[in-house]
Amino acid sequence: MTTAVDDAGSRMSAFIRDPYPTLARIREASPVSLVAYGEGVSVWLVTRYQDVRAALVDPRFGQDVRRSQAIAAKAGGGITLGSDVVHMLNSDPPDHTRLRRLIQGVFTRKRVDAMRPMVERIAGGLLDGLRERQQVDLVADFAFPLPIMIICELLGFPPEDLHSYRTWSTAILTRGSGMSFEQATAEMKTYLHELMTARRATPRDDILTDLAQARDAGELSEQEVFSMVFLLLIGGHETTVNLLGTSTLALLHHPDQLAWLRANRGAMPMAVDEFLRYESPVSMATMRFTTEPVTVSGVEIPADELVLLSLGGANRDPARFDDPDRLILDRDDPGHLAFGQGLHRCLGSFLGKLEGEVALSGLLDRFTGIELAADEATLPWRNTIMLRGLESLPVTLRG
């Protein structure tokens, strides 16, 4: 069966607005199926929890972007996989191991616990700014600035350039956003180059300084430094912004769950896991390819084929989660795949969860009433099948 999941027609909009009925149908009818992706390229889409989880930890599914790019090109496809941006998420060992090792110390549970005051300070400042206004766009005014301000503080990026980071990262991730992928990466490279030069002259306690020093010690190339920063900047905010927007919307849809959460504030970490399962911010894991023929749920995927693993589909699989389409905040099941699994499991998972907990707690603490201020059907969703998130969420706040 070939299903288009990537065309810009009306089916796409319906899929973008609510992908779960289509994913459920595909998971039921053909859990490992060929789908049209980009111009002229077919990729395998895997939607069952067990299959997705197994593939995430299986080294026969490679990530090396140069090889994925070659496979896409051979199929005559026009997919932009960004092969000049080579980072840990689109590399295989030993490059992946080397790159991840260089930075993983910054994001351990212990180091992230110590970031709590900084996260609370930034979240508190943003929420205070919302108090004066009756209606706000919760995405533009809170969900977006919070994680980007945090990752910029860790990287050592000037906060006054936030708007540029947003423009670049939207152009890199979303087609038809006004700026091309190539222009965004070129602009970002020039900008980074200038910042790195400044850090060499005046070192600071930030990731950029660490990377400049590692570069000078020959531990990674200049191109790898740029790519690492791209990945941290984009991975560090495009995900949490989605989590915050969709979690708030989910609470507005489920007043009983909102009331329960207000009454059980200590349950926030467990609730965040359920938000991550219910609306997985990264709905598709990044593109993989088969290094040899692999049989998944009885279907043989030949070698050198592109594969998409549906994290959103897996996290709604009724074979793994009872009543998967219901938001149940006390589900108490952290076995979701929203952070991936295996070698590439999210490096920032502790930070992402902390941001979610602090942000949602702060919102509930400060505002006793939160109401949707737009027609639900008109809410704009991000126009990509890879991420699940709202572009804006107008709400009225009381309290």
Choosing from 26, 54, 149, 231, the residue that interacts with ligand HEM (CB under 6 A) is 231
Q: How, if at all, do strands 306-309 and 41-46 pair?
A: parallel
Pinpoint the alpha helices (H) of 31-115. Answer: 49-56, 65-74, 95-103, 109-113
Output b/e per residue, 324-353; b: 16+ Cβ within 10 A.
beebbbebeeeebbbbbbebbebbbbbbbb
Choosing from 5, 54, 72, 282, the residue that interacts with ligand HEM (CB under 6 A) is 282
How many CB atoms are closer than 10 A to CB 275?
23
Choosing from 235, 324, 362, 394, the residue that interacts with ligand HEM (CB under 6 A) is 235
Are 92 and 108 a contacting pair, CB within 8 Å? no
Judged by CB under 6 A, does residue 239 bind ligand HEM?
Answer: yes
Instruction: Select the span of 109-117, 120-128, 233-241, 376-384 touching ligand HEM (CB under 6 A).
Output: 233-241
Q: Which of residues 143-182 bind ligand HEM (CB under 6 A)?
A: 151
Judged by CB under 6 A, does residue 275 bind ligand HEM?
Answer: no
Q: Cα-flanking dihedrals φ and ψ of residue 218, to 5°? A: 80, 15
3-state secondary structure of 2: strand
Q: Which of residues 311-330 bind ligand HEM (CB under 6 A)?
A: 311
Compute how many residues bind ligand HEM; rule: CB under 6 A: 26
Report in angstroms how near the CB of residue 54 gets to ligand HEM at its nearest: 13
Q: Which of residues 29-88 bind ligand HEM (CB under 6 A)?
A: 88
Report in angstroms how near the CB of residue 241 gets to ligand HEM at its nearest: 9
Choosing from 351, 358, 363, 395, the residue that interacts with ligand HEM (CB under 6 A) is 351
Report in angstroms how near the CB of residue 340 gets to ligand HEM at its nearest: 3
Classify residue 158 as exposed, middle or buried by CB count within 10 Å of its CB (0-12, 13-18, 19+).
Answer: exposed
Rounded Cα distance, 291 and 54, in Å: 15
The 352-371 site mask, x for binding ligand HEM (CB under 6 A), equals x-------------------
Instruction: Select the span of 3-11, 29-37, 110-118, 341-349 touching ligand HEM (CB under 6 A).
Output: 341-349
Are 58 and 343 a contacting pair, CB within 8 Å? no
Between 188 and 285, CB nearer to ligand HEM: 285
Q: How, if at all, do strands 135-137 and 299-301 pair?
A: unpaired
CA distance to 64, 76, 307, per residue, from 356 (Å): 31, 41, 30
Between 305 and 374, CB nearer to ligand HEM: 305
Bridge partners, residue 290, by sequence: 61
Choosing from 285, 307, 329, 395, the residue that interacts with ligand HEM (CB under 6 A) is 285
Between 349 and 392, CB nearer to ligand HEM: 349
Measured over the CA atoms of residue 297, residue 301, residue 303 and residue 304, the dihedral's sign is: negative
Q: Which residue is nearest to ligand HEM (CB)?
A: 348
Judged by CB under 6 A, does residue 230 bind ligand HEM?
Answer: no
Measured over the CA atoms of residue 270, residue 153, residue 174 and residue 192, the dihedral's sign is: negative
Rounded Cα distance, 146 and 382, in Å: 18
Are 275 and 247 a contacting pair, CB within 8 Å? yes
Q: Which of residues 240-269 bind ligand HEM (CB under 6 A)?
A: 240, 243
Choosing from 83, 167, 286, 361, the residue that interacts with ligand HEM (CB under 6 A) is 286
Instruction: Select the span of 12-20, 126-134, 170-178, 278-286 touching ligand HEM (CB under 6 A).
Output: 278-286
Judged by CB under 6 A, does residue 348 bind ligand HEM?
Answer: yes
Between 100 and 320, CB nearer to ligand HEM: 100
The full length of the chain comes to: 399
Judged by CB under 6 A, does residue 236 bind ligand HEM?
Answer: yes
Are 310 and 47 a contacting pair, CB within 8 Å? yes
Between 117 and 176, CB nearer to ligand HEM: 117
Interface positions with ligand HEM (CB under 6 A): 88-89, 100, 107, 151, 231-232, 235-236, 239-240, 243, 281-282, 285-286, 311, 338-340, 344, 346-348, 351-352
